[in-house]
Amino acid sequence: MALDIERCDLESRINNTTHHTDQNGLDRLIVRRGLPFTITLHLRSGSQFQAGVSTFRLIVEIGPLPKEQSGTKSTFSLTDSASKTAWSASTTSPPGNVVSLSVSSPPDVPIGLYSLTLDQGQKVKLGEFVLLFNPWCAKDAVYMEEERDRQEYVLSQAGLIYKGTTKRIKASPWTFGQFEPGMLDICLKLLDENPKYSSDADADCSGRRNPVYVTRVISAMINSNDDKGVLVGNWSGDYDDGVRPSHWTDSVAILHQWADNCCQRVRYGQCWVFAAVACTVSRALGIPCRVVTNFGSAHDTNSNLLIEFLYDEDGNDISDDSVWNFHVWVDNWMARPDLDAGYDGWQASDPTPQEKSEGVFCCGPVPLKAIKEGELNLKYDAPFVFAEVNADVVEYVKLTNGRMVKMGGSSMDVGHFISTKAVGSDERHDITHLYKHPEGSLQEREVYERAKHHNDLQQKGQEPGLKVKIKVSPDMDIGADFDVFAVIANNTEADKTCRVMFYARIVSYDGKPGANCGFIEDLTMEVPTGKEKRLPLRLEYVDYGDTIKSDRLIQLVLIVIESSPREFHKAKRTIVLENPDIAIKLLGEPRVNQKLSAQISLENPLPEPLQNCFFSVMGAGLTDGKILIQNVGTVGPKQEAKYTVEFTPTSIGSRTLTVDFDSDKLSNIKGYLNIEIKE
Question: 492 and 370 in one domain?
Answer: no
Interatomic CA distance for residues 79 and 95, integer angstroms? 17
User: Residues with catalytic annotation?
Assistant: 271, 327, 350
Interatomic CA distance for residues 504 and 121, integer angstroms? 79
Q: Binding residue per annotation — 134?
A: no
Q: Which residue range(s) make up the domain with 366? A: 147-451
Helix (H, G, I), strand (E, B) or coil at 375: coil
Average pLDDT for residues 116-145, to the nearest whole number? 96
Average pLDDT for residues 411-426, to the nearest whole number? 91
Question: 332 and 205 in one domain?
Answer: yes
Question: 403 and 367 in one domain?
Answer: yes
Interatomic CA distance for residues 88 and 464, integer angstroms? 76
DSSP assignment string, 192-247: HTSHHHHH-HHHHHHHTT-HHHHHHHHHHHHB-SSSS-SEEE--SS--TTS--GGG
pLDDT computed for residue 455 by the predictor: 30
**Residue 513 confidence (pLDDT) above 80:** yes
What are 169's strand-pairing partners? 164
Is there a domain that residue 483 lies in? yes
261-312: pLDDT as tens digits: 999 999 999 999 999 999 999 999 999 999 999 999 887 776 666 667 777 8
Q: Binding residue per annotation — 223?
A: no
Interatomic CA distance for residues 344 and 347, integer angstroms? 8
* Region of residue 402 (left: phi > 0; alpha: psi -120 to 50; beta: else): left
Q: Which of 98, 132, 166 is the last residue of a domain?
A: 132
Helix (H, G, I), strand (E, B) or coil at 181: coil
Interatomic CA distance for residues 296 and 415, integer angstroms? 5
**Residue 658 confidence (pLDDT) above 50:** yes
**Residue 674 confidence (pLDDT) above 50:** yes
Is there a domain that residue 458 lies in? no
Interatomic CA distance for residues 552 and 531, integer angstroms? 34
pLDDT computed for residue 63 by the predictor: 96
**Residue 460 confidence (pLDDT) above 50:** no
**Residue 459 confidence (pLDDT) above 70:** no
* Region of residue 621 (left: phi > 0; alpha: psi -120 to 50; beta: else): left
464-496: pLDDT as tens digits: 678 899 999 888 999 999 999 999 998 877 899
What are 269's strand-pairing partners? 233
Average pLDDT for residues 69-76, to the nearest whole number? 96
Question: 558 and 604 in one domain?
Answer: no
Percent of the chain with pLDDT strictly greater than 90? 73
Domain with residue 662: its CATH number is 2.60.40.10
Residue 216: name the closest of 347, 71, 341 by CA: 347
Confidence of residue 437 (pLDDT cuts 50, 70, 90): confident
pLDDT computed for residue 324 by the predictor: 85
Is there a domain that residue 10 lies in? yes
> Is 193:263 a contact under the CB 8 Å cutoff?
yes
Q: Taking the CB of residue 636, how many other CB atoms lie within 10 A of it?
A: 11
Residue 351: name the closest of 289, 307, 309 by CA: 289
Residue 254: name the closest of 244, 5, 546 by CA: 244
Question: 445 and 392 in one domain?
Answer: yes
Q: Binding residue per annotation — 68?
A: no
Question: Among positive and negative, which fits the CA dihedral 292, 109, 112, 379?
Answer: positive
Question: 311 and 205 in one domain?
Answer: yes
191-214: pLDDT as tens digits: 999 999 999 999 999 999 999 999
Is there a domain that residue 140 lies in? no
523-549: pLDDT as tens digits: 999 999 888 999 999 999 999 999 988
662-672: pLDDT as tens digits: 999 998 899 99
Half-sphere exposure of 28 (CA within 13 A, CB side): 14
Task: State how far the alpha carbon of 443 is from the alpha carbons of 387, 437, 440, 446, in Å.
Answer: 16, 6, 8, 5
Interatomic CA distance for residues 263 and 411, integer angstroms? 44
Average confidence score pLDDT of the chain: 91
Average pLDDT for residues 21-27, to the nearest whole number? 96
**Residue 454 confidence (pLDDT) above 60:** no
pTM of the entire predicted model: 0.88
pLDDT computed for residue 550 by the predictor: 84
**121 or 126: which leads in pLDDT:** 126
Q: Which of 335-349, 382-396, 411-425 has the lowest mean pLDDT?
A: 382-396
pLDDT computed for residue 474 by the predictor: 84
Which helix (H) or strand (E) is 504 found in, with range? strand 496-507
Question: 227 and 258 in one domain?
Answer: yes
**Residue 55 confidence (pLDDT) above 90:** no
Confidence of residue 411 (pLDDT cuts 50, 70, 90): low
Do you know the residue count of the chain?
679
Q: Taking the CB of residue 551, how many other CB atoms lie within 10 A of it?
A: 23
Question: 477 and 618 in one domain?
Answer: no
| Cβ-proximal residues to 382 (8 Å cutoff; 6+ apart), any chain | 366, 370, 371, 375, 376
Helix (H, G, I), strand (E, B) or coil at 671: strand
Question: 238 and 178 in one domain?
Answer: yes
Is there a domain that residue 9 lies in? yes
Confidence of residue 450 (pLDDT cuts 50, 70, 90): low
Question: 272 and 247 in one domain?
Answer: yes
Interatomic CA distance for residues 520 and 518, integer angstroms? 7
Q: Which of 4-8, 556-560, 561-565 has the lowest mean pLDDT?
A: 561-565
> Is 173:72 a contact under the CB 8 Å cutoff?
no
Q: Which of 559, 576, 593 is the last residue of a domain?
A: 576
Confidence of residue 452 (pLDDT cuts 50, 70, 90): very low
Question: 393 and 285 in one domain?
Answer: yes
Q: Which of 548, 576, 604 is the last residue of a domain?
A: 576
Average pLDDT for residues 363-373, to the nearest whole number? 95
Which helix (H) or strand (E) is 271 found in, with range? helix 271-285
**Residue 456 confidence (pLDDT) above 50:** no
pLDDT computed for residue 303 by the predictor: 67
576-623: pLDDT as tens digits: 999 999 999 999 999 999 999 999 999 999 999 999 999 999 999 999
**Residue 400 confidence (pLDDT) above 80:** no
**Residue 96 confidence (pLDDT) above 60:** yes
**Residue 169 confidence (pLDDT) above 60:** yes
306-359: pLDDT as tens digits: 667 777 877 777 766 678 899 999 999 999 999 999 999 999 999 999 989 999
Q: Binding residue per annotation — 250?
A: no
Q: How far from the centroid of its chain's Cα atoms is residue 205's Cα?
A: 25
Domain with residue 300: its CATH number is 3.90.260.10
Question: 183 and 319 in one domain?
Answer: yes
Residue 652: name the closest of 599, 594, 574, 566 by CA: 594
Q: Work out how many domains the chain is built from and give that number.
A: 4
